Structure 1
Amino acid sequence: MSEELHPVAIRFLAYIRLEKRYSEHTFAAYQQDLTQFFTFLQSSYGDVPLKGITHSHVRTWLAWLMEHSNVAKTVNRKISSLKSFFKYALRHGEVSMTPMTKVTAPKIGKRLPGFIDEKGMRALEDNHSMRRGEEKEPVFMDGLEGRTHQLIFELLYNTGIRLSELISLKERHIDAGNLSIKVLGKGNKERIIPISPHLMEEINTYRAVCRKELAEYDQEVLLVNPKSGRKLYPKYVYNVVRDYLTRHEITTINRKSPHILRHTFATHLTNNGADLNAVKELLGHSSLASTQVYTSNSIEKLKAAFKKAHPKG
């Protein structure tokens, strides 16, 4: 870890990695934010003891960030990192009060999560391209590679799981009897997600094709690389989703990442009247506020329908 970091910050990072078991991505973000803050503090004010850090120090750092083209969303993440750190320091008696109580986060312009419309998802489920002049061209080819790619889409859209959760799915997490899967989410929190008989059938078909086409493969995980038989890695899944959505013109949304299928899952549920608390549990959100953004998509759909159909629209 960086020499610029305060010893308490080093202990805090060890705590979130070893005890809280945060993901490598989240840990790296905390480490970057704290290193940047303490480096700025040292270069601007010299040696400031932890108990001497005030809201003025933090505000000056935030102003510097905004001047150097950091967007509000990034700055808010850095504020969150500092809040967590000082809360830890307060709990362990390293400070008597946190400077973050007088720090206000900048407002972020509301941006609705992108999603694929139901027509686009039907094209994937019916396995035909939406490209003009190529009617009913299969999206997913026969064989293990095509089956792997299809199951990636089926799982992401039908369960709303994250990319990291998808590639970590184990064979033992599939409960055929209860038609459900066990997912290990953020902070090692487990949740159970129901699946349809159709998806269970797709999983069984995929298993059979794996046994037929691969002499050796990792039988502990559900999804494997169709060429090597090893566990999938994030970039592989990202490239598969982006390639299919682009090549077959499934959606016009620019950012074609696996996360768009999670947004699509949640938006389609709320559009069709699903209880928001149920959607929250399925997504593994810790608070309802994270889930409520999908109701905005539903409202936007109602507005569009009103504008198109109502005489006074």
Structure 2
Amino acid sequence: MMSIYSEILRFIDYMQVEKNASAATIKNYKGDLEQFAHFISRQYGLEQEEIGIDFLSHKVVREYLMYLQDQGLKKSSSARKLASLRSFARYLCKQNILDDNPLALVSTPKQERRLPRFLYPAEVEALLNAPDRGTPLGQRDKAILETLYASGLRVSELTSLDVQDVYLYGDFIKVKGKGDKERLVPLGSKAREAVHIYIEDGRSKLLKPGHLEEKALFLNWRGSRLTDRSVRNILDKYMHEVAGNLKISPHVLRHTFATHLLNNGADLRSVQEMLGHVKLSTTQIYTHLTRESIKKIYDNTHPRR
């Protein structure tokens, strides 16, 4: 009998070697698939080696989704776990381990469509002006905030930037996104100025004798590459200063970037390219309009305004 656990390990190797999936994607796949196998073990009273690949069936997956629902898991999380199982099933079909995809008819949990959270221009202005530009860390933080808002980068894309990825005289940065796909993203004049000051002054002061060859653009106080968590902490610090208890994630600045571009007339395809979205449908969630934009459009277009 072919064990589901051994096939999960082979699938993870395949995703790493053949598909060059990111570390985060690999972690999610592994966690989702192992959780499914643990569910089977508890549900049917089986040891790991007793769980065959035949348990990846329409019936068992439906039971699993009902279990997740009973546990109060968000529909978005259940949908992601189902997507992992579908990818696994497609791999097994490709390897001729399964004749047919048993999950082809399993429907995705209906999602609640929520508008992405974003900041208004005045809130962004207060946030961007919060860092003390007279210190190396303040210069770094100013450059980080300006870059996030100017480019709409994911936090992982920001922290993976090297100095050589910044083309200040060309006003753009080279970004390595999901699946190691590279794209060029414009960098506005305000962000360019903040990054230039940081590179010329703050970054050189943050470099330590043992890290003089460090390539990372954004450094921590020890002179090494800044982490995603550190960027979140930086954002929390300045949001607390300007807005008290209001907390946002770096992704909210990505939402804000897209929302402001579209509200000011940018076309959806261009925003898709800058965000690094593979599907246009992913970008379309940002086509909501602020109340101010709706009122302005109404005032400018309705004949009896």
User: Do these two structures clear the TM 0.5 threshold for a shared fold by scoring above it?
Assistant: yes
Q: Is the 8 A contact 1:174 1:182 kept in 2?
A: yes
Q: Is the 8 A contact 1:5 1:39 kept in 2?
A: no
Displacement, 1:86?
A: 0.4
1:25 correspondence with 2:28: no
Q: Is the 8 A contact 1:266 1:294 kept in 2?
A: yes
1:292 correspondence with 2:284: yes
Q: Tell me, in whole angstroms, the C-alpha distance in 1 between the residues paired with 2:77 and 2:261.
A: 29
Match of 1:270 among 240, 251, 262: 262
C-alpha distance 102-258 of structure 1, shift in aligned 2 (>3 A)? same
Q: Is the 8 A contact 1:139 1:248 kept in 2?
A: no
Which moves more between the two structures, 264-273 or 18-27?
18-27
The AA in structure 1 aligned to 2:222 is: S
Match of 2:72 among 60, 69, 74: 69
Q: Tell me, in whole angstroms, the C-alpha distance in 2 between the residues paired with 1:294 and 1:99.
A: 34
Counterpart position of 1:249: 243
Counterpart position of 1:235: 229
Counterpart position of 2:183: 191
Q: Is the 8 A contact 1:51 1:96 kept in 2?
A: no
Match of 1:55 among 42, 58, 70: 58
Match of 2:113 among 110, 113, 116: 110
- Three-state SS of the structure 2 residue aligned to 1:232 is coil
Q: Is the 8 A contact 1:51 1:94 kept in 2?
A: no
Displacement, 1:198?
A: 3.5
Counterpart position of 1:133: none
Q: Tell me, in whole angstroms, the C-alpha distance in 1 between the residues paired with 2:243 and 2:43.
A: 51
Q: Is the 8 A contact 1:13 1:30 kept in 2?
A: yes
Displacement, 1:114?
A: 0.6
Q: Is the 8 A contact 2:176 2:182 kept in 1?
A: yes
Q: Is the 8 A contact 1:267 1:295 kept in 2?
A: yes
Q: Tell me, in whole angstroms, the C-alpha distance in 1 between the residues paired with 2:174 and 2:181.
A: 10
Counterpart position of 2:204: 211
1:171 correspondence with 2:163: yes
C-alpha distance 274-306 of structure 1, shift in aligned 2 (>3 A)? closer
Question: Percent of pairs identical after alignment?
Answer: 34
Counterpart position of 1:37: 36
Q: Tell me, in whole angstroms, the C-alpha distance in 2 between the residues paired with 1:36 and 1:212.
A: 46
Q: Tell me, in whole angstroms, the C-alpha distance in 1 between the residues paired with 2:4 and 2:17.
A: 18
Question: Number of aligned pairs?
Answer: 295
C-alpha distance 148-102 of structure 1, shift in aligned 2 (>3 A)? same
The AA in structure 2 aligned to 1:77 is: R
**TM-superposition CA deviations, 1:112-170 (whole Å, max 9, x none):** 11111011122344x2xxxxxxxxxx543411011011011011000000111111101
C-alpha distance 267-236 of structure 1, shift in aligned 2 (>3 A)? same
Counterpart position of 2:104: 101
The AA in structure 2 aligned to 1:27 is: I
The AA in structure 1 aligned to 2:58 is: H
- Three-state SS of the structure 2 residue aligned to 1:75 is helix
C-alpha distance 239-48 of structure 1, shift in aligned 2 (>3 A)? closer
Q: Tell me, in whole angstroms, the C-alpha distance in 2 between the residues paired with 1:48 and 1:232.
A: 42
1:224 correspondence with 2:223: no
C-alpha distance 94-255 of structure 1, shift in aligned 2 (>3 A)? farther
C-alpha distance 91-145 of structure 1, shift in aligned 2 (>3 A)? same
1:120 correspondence with 2:123: yes
Q: Is the 8 A contact 1:114 1:263 kept in 2?
A: yes
Displacement, 1:53?
A: 3.5
C-alpha distance 141-204 of structure 1, shift in aligned 2 (>3 A)? closer
The AA in structure 2 aligned to 1:178 is: G
**Unaligned 5+ runs, structure 1:** 128-137
Q: Is the 8 A contact 2:4 2:51 kept in 1?
A: no
Q: Tell me, in whole angstroms, the C-alpha distance in 1 between the residues paired with 2:291 and 2:4.
A: 46
**TM-superposition CA deviations, 1:266-291 (whole Å, max 9, x none):** 11001111010110010001101110
Q: Tell me, in whole angstroms, the C-alpha distance in 2 between the residues paired with 1:64 and 1:142.
A: 54
Q: Is the 8 A contact 1:167 1:232 kept in 2?
A: yes
1:16 correspondence with 2:15: yes
- Three-state SS of the structure 1 residue aligned to 2:104 is helix
Q: Tell me, in whole angstroms, the C-alpha distance in 2 between the residues paired with 1:116 and 1:84.
A: 36
1:150 correspondence with 2:153: no
Q: Is the 8 A contact 2:127 2:239 kept in 1?
A: no
Counterpart position of 2:273: 281
The AA in structure 1 aligned to 2:177 is: G
**TM-superposition CA deviations, 1:41-86 (whole Å, max 9, x none):** 2333454532464211110111111111112111101110001000
- Three-state SS of the structure 2 residue aligned to 1:101 is coil
**Unaligned 5+ runs, structure 2:** none
